[in-house]
Structure formats: C-alpha cells, structure tokens
C-alpha cells in the first residue's frame, strides 16, 4: 500500500494508467522518456557486427546481405532491405556509426524505437530500389550510407516543419552526391545515396505531418505507402528484364 493524503492507496489504483493521467508524448507520438538511444546503439552494433563477421569469414555477411541487382533479379529480394546494414570498409562503418551516434539518438528520442527503425530501413529500401531501377544489371552497393543519409533527410524535413533553415542540409546532400558521382561513378553507388535521401525525406514527411488524431495509424499507413511505391518500382523493373 502507498500512503495518501487520507489513508492509503493500493499501487495499482494509484498508477497513472488508472488515475486518468495521460502519458506525455513527443510531437511525433512517441512516449517521452529520460533514457534514449537504445535502438540507435543496437543498430550501431549490427553495423559493427556485420563488419566483424565479414572480417572473420572473409566477406560471408556481405555476400549474403549486400544489395546486388543480379541477386535481386534472381529472386533474392531480402537484399533490398538487408543492404542497409552493410557498410563495406572499416572507414564506411566508422562514419555511419559516428553519424548514428551524433544524430540517431536525438531522432530516436523524438520518434521512438519503431518509427526510428522504420525510417532507417525505408531510406535503405529507397536507395536499393533506385539502384535496381536505374543502375546497370551488374551493379550493387552498400546501403548503410543511403539509410544514414535518409535519416538526415528526414531530420531536414523536421527542421523545415519547425521553420528552421534547411539550406545547409540541402547543400550537404548535394555535396555528398556530387562526391559520390565524381569518386565512384562507375559502380553507380551514388544512385543509392539519392534514393536514400528521397525515401528518407518522404518517410520523414509522413511522420512529421501526420495529424494528431489517429496519428500512429496514419504514420503506419504512410510508411507502408513508401514501401509499396518501392516494391511497385522493383516489380515494374522486373517485368522489363
């Protein structure tokens, strides 16, 4: 029993759920919490774990998970999503983990775990889809960078809604894509960057502009819509092969 102003109350009766007190939420519908970043840390661990497995097995994880147009055309559709956990070199892993550490925790605290994960993989799927649709049949790429850029693109949408200046963000995206084109044009990995930015921005708009009433349901439907657009583009491309 818990002491009250008059007598005692049982813990169950005094809990917020039964006393009519609403749990505070962020503007995206996620529960406010003093602790955050758990999902971000898990995702960082996955990126690092894939690289370590590759190091030990001489590329086994990448061989099974990396985005490959030829493999997807052969029916290995999981690569459209799993490519988002493959970073390639140790430099790529460290850069992606650094961005996740700096930006991911703040985004997760606002979005909550499931929205954050959905946003990450929606951006990764967007990158894989654009590579599959527009890239050469023999091309492939590491999708983690596209997914991370998608998080940054969504963050730019959030800033725009808050009436903050997003011109530096747009400039950053343009520079990164231009760098990808100039340095690595031949393998068309830059297409994944563009796809990640576009899909991340679209998913971010879904999360940011969903009305308060039935917000979670609308967000889920909107995110599924982004997924559906990507899958329809892949199916359309498959019919042309």
- For residue 94, give the H/E element and its range: helix 90-99
Mean pLDDT of 4-19: 48
6 pLDDT more than 50: no
Q: Where are the domains of the chain?
A: 58-240
Mean pLDDT of 76-101: 95
To the nearest whole number, what is the mean pLDDT of the chain?
89
Contact of 51 with 86, CB cutoff 8 Å: no
CATH class of 58-240: mainly alpha
Q: What is the pLDDT of residues 141-198, one digit of tens each?
A: 999 999 999 999 999 999 999 999 999 999 999 998 998 888 877 778 899 999 999 9
**pLDDT value at residue 22:** 65
Among residues 212, 209, 233, the alpha carbon closest in space to that of 222 is found at 209
Higher pLDDT, 185 or 46: 46
- CA distance to 154, 179, 198, 221, 230, per residue, from 218 (Å): 17, 36, 20, 5, 19
Write down the pTM of the prediction: 0.89
115 pLDDT more than 80: yes
**pLDDT value at residue 18:** 46
pLDDT band at 1; cut points 50, 70, 90? very low
Mean pLDDT of 5-34: 62
Q: How far apart are CA 210 and CA 206, in angstroms?
A: 6
**Residue 6 burial (10 A CB sphere; 0-12, 13-18, 19+):** exposed
Q: How far apart are CA 24 and CA 22, in angstroms?
A: 6
Q: What string of DSSP letters covers 158-223? A: HHHHTT---HHHHHHHHHHHHHHHHHHTTTTTHHHHHHHHHHHHHHHHHHHH--STTHHHHHHHHH
**pLDDT value at residue 7:** 45
**pLDDT value at residue 2:** 47
Q: How far apart are CA 225 and CA 57, in angstroms?
A: 37
């Amino acid at each position: 029993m818990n002491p009250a102003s008059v007598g005692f109350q049982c813990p169950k009766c005094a809990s917020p759920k039964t006393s009519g007190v609403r749990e505070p939420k962020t503007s995206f519908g996620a529960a406010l919490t003093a602790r955050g970043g758990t999902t971000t840390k898990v995702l960082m661990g996955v990126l690092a774990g894939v690289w370590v497995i590759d190091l030990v097995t001489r590329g086994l994880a990448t061989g099974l998970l990396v985005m490959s147009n030829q493999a997807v055309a052969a029916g290995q559709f999981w690569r459209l999503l799993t490519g988002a956990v493959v970073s390639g070199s140790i430099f790529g892993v460290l850069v992606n983990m650094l961005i996740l550490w700096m930006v991911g925790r703040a985004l997760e605290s606002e979005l909550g775990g499931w929205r954050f994960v959905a946003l990450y993989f929606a951006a990764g799927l967007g990158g894989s889809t654009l590579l599959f649709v527009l890239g050469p049949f023999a091309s492939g790429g590491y999708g983690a960078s596209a997914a991370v850029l998608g998080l940054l693109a969504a963050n730019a949408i959030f800033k725009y809604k808050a009436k903050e200046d997003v011109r530096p963000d747009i400039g950053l995206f343009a520079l990164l894509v231009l760098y990808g084109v100039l340095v690595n044009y031949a393998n068309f990995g830059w297409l994944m960057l563009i796809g990640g930015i576009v899909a991340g921005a679209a998913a971010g708009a879904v999360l940011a502009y969903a009305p308060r009433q039935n917000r979670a349901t609308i967000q889920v439907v909107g995110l599924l819509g982004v997924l559906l657009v990507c899958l329809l583009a892949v199916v359309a491309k498959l019919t042309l092969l």
